[in-house]
Amino acid sequence: MSDCNTRIIAPSVLASDWGKVGEEVRRADEAGADWLHLDVMDGHFVENISFGPQFVSAVRPHTELTLDTHLMITRPDKYLPMFIEAGCDRITVHVEADHDVSATLADIRKAGLQCGLALNPATLLEEVTPFFDQIDLLLVMTVVPGFGGQSFMETETMPKVAEAREIRNAKGLGFHIEVDGGIDHRTVEIAANHGANVMVAGTSLYKAPDMPEAILAMRG
Ligand code: DX5
Ligand code: ZN
């Protein structure tokens, strides 16, 4: 298990060609990705609908990479068993969603998976600090969730990344800090300098002319 000081590159399948998703998953694997990021959207928590547990099951046999599943859904607790069954390795839920956050995080861990907690750009860090000792990963959204291809929201989000790292280290905790949205070879260094180590990228990797090179550039 890599620690929170290791830079991890996680392409977001949302930006891939879904008509050949098996090939696209293998392409990211062969291009040197560390994790695969799966963006689940329910059209209620976010203004878009993407895919569900059956899509995760379809992806699973095509790679050994860690499936880093981002549930942008209102009731992550209700659908958790289906995503666990589908083969997720890590499940991240939103603090803004309609569930008992501690209970959901505990249920993810009880299933033997790593758990993550996400906060949107407008959400204050104080909303998630009470859960810092219950998580394996903090996802600081760097765009408003729902769509790929948006611009990196530096001023609203980087102070939260820096403060999260400070609090984590002061408490002797070891959770990953993940950023997600508008991450490319330029913004990845801004995020890393503030304390992020898991870099989710959809457009800048899947739309790159040379994915292996784009992943290498993202490693700094
Ligand atoms: C947005 C998703 C992100 C998005 C990233 O709601 O959570 O993972 O797919 O896409 P890019 O890298 O294109 O901003
Ligand atoms: Zn995501």
CATH of the domain at 174: 3.20.20.70
CA distances from 86 to 41, 153, 158, 210 (A): 16, 32, 33, 30
Domain assignment present for residue 166? The answer is yes
> Is residue 159's pLDDT more than 70?
yes
Domain assignment present for residue 1? The answer is no
pLDDT per position as a tens digit, 2-56: 799 999 999 999 999 999 999 999 999 999 999 999 999 999 999 999 999 999 9
Q: What is the mean pLDDT of residues 167-194?
A: 98
Ligand 1 pocket test, pick from 151, 203, 207 with the greatest ligand atom count within 8 Å of Cβ, gives 203
Ligand 2 centroid to residue 13 C-alpha, Å: 9
What lies within 8 Å, CB to CB, of 192 at 6+ separation is 7, 199, 220
The pLDDT mean for the chain works out to 97
pLDDT per position as a tens digit, 106-155: 999 999 999 999 999 999 999 999 999 999 999 999 999 999 999 999 99
Ligand 1 pocket test, pick from 69, 93, 147 with the greatest ligand atom count within 8 Å of Cβ, gives 147
> Is residue 1's pLDDT more than 70?
no
Domain assignment present for residue 181? The answer is yes
Ligand 1, closest atom to CA 145? Answer: 6
Domain assignment present for residue 212? The answer is yes
CA distances from 23 to 17, 212, 215 (A): 9, 15, 17
Q: What is the mean pLDDT of residues 155-163?
A: 98
Residue 66 confidence (pLDDT): 98
11 pocket-lining for ligand 1 (C-beta < 6 Å): no
Domain assignment present for residue 3? The answer is no
The reply to whether 29 belongs to the active site is: no
The reply to whether 39 belongs to the active site is: yes
pLDDT per position as a tens digit, 64-108: 999 999 999 999 999 999 999 999 999 999 999 999 999 999 999
Work out how many domains the chain is built from and give that number: 1
Which residues surround the ion ligand 2 when the cut-off is CB under 5 Å?
39, 70, 180
Active-site hit among 42, 68, 136, 180? 180
Domain assignment present for residue 93? The answer is yes
Q: Give the residue numbers spanning the domain of 173.
A: 8-218
Residue 145 confidence (pLDDT): 97
What lies within 8 Å, CB to CB, of 168 at 6+ separation is 4, 132, 138, 174, 175, 177
pLDDT per position as a tens digit, 184-200: 999 999 999 999 999 99
Domain assignment present for residue 160? The answer is yes
pTM score, whole prediction: 0.98
